[in-house]
Amino acid sequence: MRATAYYLRFRGPVRELPRATTLLGHLLWWYRYTHGKEALEELLEKLPGTGFRLSSAFPEGWLPRPKLPPIQVEETALRKRLKALTLLSFATFQQVVERGEEALLEAPEAEGKLAPPAPRRLHRARVGIDRATGGARQGILFTQDLLFPTGRYA
């Protein structure tokens, strides 16, 4: 199976990292705008048989933890650290695929020695709008949490 990675660099903040469905939707809209509606319909007819797959955006060098039967761990702190792991480095991911969840016991992610790059969190102050008057509502001020991802996302 051949795989090609395309990398995203974010120029501004986002509410959440783009999921596969969002990325696919944007690609298909781009295709329609550049090639026309008929070309998009032809592409959509061919797409199911091509084996085309698109994943959500993850930090470069990291993949989501595969869904496997969990291992039984007696130590509470270790069990919580293992449960909190959502992203794995390529090396750890390969070990988990080959050996199962037991590979996580020796993983640097479980020991706290390695972690994926976390996006910077920004808090933007916003003003509530009064729908009746169209102006700002008095006393309604809230913050909106935004992420500013750094580095490349594949």
Domains held by the chain: number: 2
The answer to whether residues 99 and 67 belong to one domain is yes
The span from the CA of 122 to the CA of 125, in Å, is 10
pTM of the model as a whole: 0.74
Q: What is the pLDDT of residues 134-148, one digit of tens each?
A: 888 888 888 999 999
Q: What pLDDT is recorded for position 139?
A: 82
Q: What pLDDT is recorded for position 111?
A: 87
Q: Is 90 contained in some domain?
A: yes
pLDDT above 70 coverage of the chain, percent: 99
Q: Is 85 contained in some domain?
A: yes
The span from the CA of 134 to the CA of 36, in Å, is 39
Positive or negative: CA dihedral 135, 140, 141, 146: negative
Q: What is the pLDDT of residues 53-108, one digit of tens each?
A: 888 999 999 999 999 888 888 888 888 988 999 999 999 999 999 998 989 989 99
The answer to whether residues 74 and 95 belong to one domain is yes
Q: Which residue has the higher pLDDT, 118 or 34?
A: 34
The span from the CA of 12 to the CA of 17, in Å, is 12
Instruction: Tell me which residue range forms the domain holding 102.
Output: 62-106
The span from the CA of 87 to the CA of 64, in Å, is 4
At residue 1 the predicted structure's pLDDT band, cuts being 50, 70 and 90, is low
Q: Is 5 contained in some domain?
A: no
The answer to whether residues 45 and 73 belong to one domain is no
Q: Which residues does residue 148 pair with via DSSP β-bridges, in sequence order?
A: 120
Q: What pLDDT is recorded for position 3?
A: 78
Q: Is 133 contained in some domain?
A: no
The answer to whether residues 45 and 76 belong to one domain is no
Q: Is 14 contained in some domain?
A: no
Q: Is 76 contained in some domain?
A: yes
Q: Is 132 contained in some domain?
A: no
